[in-house]
Structure 1
Amino acid sequence: MSAMPLVLGIETSCDETGVGLVRDGQLLGDALASSMDEHARFGGVVPEIAARAHLHALRPMVEHALDRAGVALGDVDAIAVTAGPGLATAVQIGLAAGKAYALALGVPLYGVHHLAGHAAVDVLEHGPLPQRCVALIVSGGHTSLLLLGDLARDPIAHLGDTADDAAGEAFDKVARLLGLPYPGGPAIDRAARTGDPSAVRFPRPLTGPTDPPYRFSFSGLKTAVARHVERHPGPLPVADLAASFQEAVADTLSRKAVAACGDHGVTTLLLVGGVAANSRVRALVAKRCAAAGITLRVPSPRLCTDNGAMIAAVGDLLVHAGATPSRLDLAADPAAVLRGALLHGPGDSNTAVLR
């Protein structure tokens, strides 16, 4: 393998088929296909439709990414692919493709955890992460506060996770209540621009003095919006409700994230995941970090949502750290728990351990 290995990353955990090419912390090229429009009429992602879309899109996306990077497939030194968590059939498509490319090219395979990709992608824009930082990962399926060390070498500590709906799920469900289109996050963000965030004081879940300080819960907030909608006579003030709901989410996320940094003596917060693209979440987290003297790192919105660059970024870190590659019989793990960047293979307790 060359001194500056080229890593091809593949991401198919949900409805985006993402491919990225990273060399030494630099994104050389990427490509993304989304099947979101095919799911919109169902109000959510249909796994079988997503898997079929991945099958059709994966090879063209690899070719587009290679073209944009100005490299050939034969130049690739390692393959990184999401092995979980995600929709079972969707993850399996990407993992099978990753194995095929690794086998055909004779290069190592790294089956990585999807959420580690969200954390790693910021490296591509803002350079190496500090020795310790707190990461707030907010997406359609996940809302977590993590304590990070070296992403490629150290275990990842969960400070708190969501007890029920993730923030992104709540956005989708509330959008449906307000008659807004899928996906709900961007729709609510747009509607909220002309609304009053103080019009309705929706609850801030699990922010009381006796509540778990870093745990999240958005099911009750969603229900509070539903009850308000049910009781409201006449036309709904959609903009005000969208802004008020969005404010409750942003307030809850930012409050807990900044507290976690202070409690753990960490001076850098990493904000990542699809909901990190929300304008109010970004703005309020930035305001509270500045007031607390915390450095905020947040990727460009296009790198917050699922993409191949983030998986290639994890692979790049693992290759440079000398991590042991995954075995080719690595199984997809749709419910993988985030303990480290690499996922274990069957019967191989050392898959995620450095040489």
Structure 2
Amino acid sequence: MPVILAIESSCDETSVAVSNNGKITANVIANQTIHENYGGVIPELASRVHQQNIVPAVSQALKDSGIEKTDLDAVAFTRGPGLLGSLLVGVSFAKSFALALDLPLIAVNHMQAHILAHFIDEPKPSFPFLCLTVSGGHTQIVKVNDFFDMEIVGETLDDAAGEAFDKTAKILQLPYPGGPLVDKWAKSGNPDAFAFPEPQIPGLDFSFSGFKTSVLYFVRDNMQRDPQFIANNLTDICASVQKRIVSILLNKVKKASVQYGIKQIAIAGGVSANSGLRTGLEDMAKKHGWQTFIPAFQYCTDNAGMIAIAAHHLYLKGEFVGQDTAPQARMEF
């Protein structure tokens, strides 16, 4: 059965994993702290740091998995979506590595891989199931009929949920990356302290642009009246914002569950690591009789483990690509 080296470089994490017969035996993630100085990811800097990190990450992944390069059956990489410069580093390395070892190449859709992360560990969902995929760049509800038969039934019309968390953090003058800090402070706050609106978007689609504006105006107006408003209410603001973002997400999932008659519900993507979303999902599952699936933390944010498990199933289907395959900043299912 296949042993696959997988590379993920879609944004600012350089990650390399090894899959051995569908089991992840190594998942190395090299984070880029340089972006903290700028309050967000700088694409040019990200691609440069990927070049520095990728060889050490590959070496460490091979070491952790206890295999040699000659044991590999294929090389996989994230083709997209993502930052073009970052993707180019991973794709170029993967093609060179595969060419040198005369190995086939497997191209993986980053968003499909987030969903397939649910097939790394037990328990694993059965088809069909619904997956709420939430990150800094995407917010989608996906009906998953098979490993690569996926239908987006709802998505954001503008901004992503992860961006709403990060924007809130920036408004509150929290350092980058701010989303996890909002979650941290929310744990000790009162989620009912302040009320934020829930967008009335028909169907299963989302919108977070108006929500972000409401948070901005709320903080601005209160700071004009009390310059210490953020300092004195930080935990309550974070808890109230998080409660509303979670309710926006889960109310749409509930609607999708009823519409499609599916009670197997999964979440994926970086925001799936948010404690409020995880707790809210479990509470709603008890109320509606759902069976829920949440990946381990290391497989929520961008990582090569999810690329490796997707590549494993592509390998079994015999779906390989040529050396002329290029990265795609925008890539559909």
1:25 alignment partner, one of 11, 22, 26: 22
Deviations along 1:236-268, one digit per CA (max 9) or x if unpaired, are 211111111100011111111122122112121
Counterpart code for 1:171? F
Q: How does 1:65-104 map to 2 (within 5 A)?
A: 65-104=61-100
Distance apart, 1:219 and its partner CA: 1.1
- The answer to whether the aligner puts 1:228 opposite 2:218 as a matched pair is yes
Q: Counterpart of 1:278?
A: 274
Q: Does 1:10 align with 2:4?
A: no
1:295 aligns with one of 291, 297, 308: 291
Q: CA deviation at 1:212?
A: 2.2
* Counterparts of 2:179 and 2:297, CA distance in 1: 12
Which of the two has greater helix per residue? 2
C-alpha contact 1:80 1:314 (8 A) present in aligned 2: no
Matched, 1:160 2:154: yes
**Once structures 1 and 2 are overlaid, which stretch shifts more, 272-281 or 143-152?**
143-152
Q: How far apart in 2 are the matches of 1:323 and 1:136?
A: 28
Pair 1:45-2:35 in alignment? no
SS at match of 1:7: strand
One-letter code of the match for 1:15? D
Query: Which residue of the partner structure matches residue 308 of structure 1?
Result: 304
Q: What TM-score, normalized by structure 1, do the two folds share?
A: 0.90
1:172 partnered with 2:169: no
1:158 maps to amino acid = I
Aligned-partner residue type, residue 7 of structure 2:
I
Q: Deviations over 1:118-162 (max 9, x none)?
A: 01112111255412111100001000001112114x2x2110111
Match of 1:201 among 190, 195, 201: 195
Equivalent-residue separation in structure 2 for 1:111 and 1:313 (angstroms): 12
Aligned residues between the structures: 327
Change (3 A) 1:34 1:238: same
How far did 1:87 drift? 0.5
Q: Unaligned regions of 5+ residues in structure 2, if any?
A: none
Q: Is the 8 A contact 1:82 1:113 kept in 2?
A: yes
CA contact (8 A) 1:258 1:289 kept: no
Letter in 2 for 1:33: A
SS at match of 1:248: helix
Which runs of 5 or more residues in structure 1 are unaligned? 340-355
Alignment match, 2:326: 331
- In 1, the alpha carbon distance for the partners of 2:129 and 2:116 equals 12
Percent identity, aligned pairs only? 37
For residue 226 of structure 1, report the CA deviation from its aligned partner: 0.5
Q: For residues 55 and 270 of structure 1, what CA distance do their matches in structure 2 show? A: 34
Aligned alpha-carbon RMSD (Å): 1.2
**8 Å Cα contact 2:268/2:295 also seen in 1:** yes
Which residue of the partner structure matches residue 106 of structure 2? 110
CA deviation map 1:58-80 (0-9, x unaligned): 01101111111111111111111
Which SS does the other structure have where 1:9 is aligned? strand
